[in-house]
């Protein structure tokens, strides 16, 4: 085929070399699924839950063009608390979401002390606080109440494990159903446990 510029089209043969897997968004699928779920909850007037923005102090910005500012340097203003918060059935909801590629346990190193302190404060003030943990090798997502998390967190400082066994989470957590509109339908678990 000839194009208007007079050059002949060349058809390239398909590349038969295997493509390397793209890990650019690794670890983001749980967050994306929860964000889609929260959008569905908001649209269906089920709950108002949002991802908390991480407070960042911008230090240096380059302006190559007026419409294309580029942040070159920034710092976290303070340690973040948990990932999500909001209201469901008149109750304050606060939770952290984590993914692990580990098959046999959830490493406590994925959580920070300031997050535990925040979750304990929310729990003490009557809020509903929990973790959503996805085991990617098993393609399973669990709801684990904050109280059950606190036990393992405190035990690690008394010579206990530095992780929560998968078998414990299977027995003591709640498997969260995956549905088309609410990908991580955690309010179904909240309904069973609290309402």
Six token digits for residue 127: 């809020």
- Where would I find the H helices in 71-112? none
- The answer to whether 113 is annotated as binding is no
In sequence order, what are the residues at sequence separation of 6 or more whose Cβ sits closer than 8 angstroms to the Cβ of residue 190? Answer: 88, 89, 93, 128
- The answer to whether 29 is annotated as binding is no
Cα angle 172, 173, 175; round to 5: 135
- The answer to whether 83 is annotated as binding is yes
Nearest to 135 by CA among 168, 162, 160: 168
- The answer to whether 185 is annotated as binding is no
List the binding residues: 81, 83, 96, 115
Binding residues for Mg(2+): 81, 83, 96, 115
């Amino acid at each position: 085929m000839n194009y208007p510029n007079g050059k002949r089209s060349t058809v390239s043969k398909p590349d038969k070399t295997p493509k390397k897997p793209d890990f650019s968004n690794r670890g983001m699928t749980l967050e994306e699924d929860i964000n889609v779920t929260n959008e569905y909850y908001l649209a269906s007037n089920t709950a108002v839950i949002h991802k908390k923005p991480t407070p960042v102090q911008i230090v240096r910005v380059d302006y190559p063009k007026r419409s294309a500012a580029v942040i070159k340097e920034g710092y976290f203003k303070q340690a973040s608390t948990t990932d999500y918060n909001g209201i469901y059935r008149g109750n304050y909801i606060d939770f952290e979401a984590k993914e692990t590629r580990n098959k046999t346990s959830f490493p406590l190193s994925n959580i920070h002390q300031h997050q535990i302190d925040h979750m304990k404060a929310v729990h003490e003030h009557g809020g509903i606080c929990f973790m959503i943990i996805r085991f990617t090798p098993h393609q399973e997502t669990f709801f684990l109440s904050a109280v059950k998390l606190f036990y393992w967190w405190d035990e690690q400082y008394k010579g206990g494990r530095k992780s929560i066994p998968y078998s414990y989470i299977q027995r003591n957590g709640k498997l969260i159903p995956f549905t088309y509109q609410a990908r991580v339908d955690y309010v179904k678990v909240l309904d069973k446990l609290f309402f």
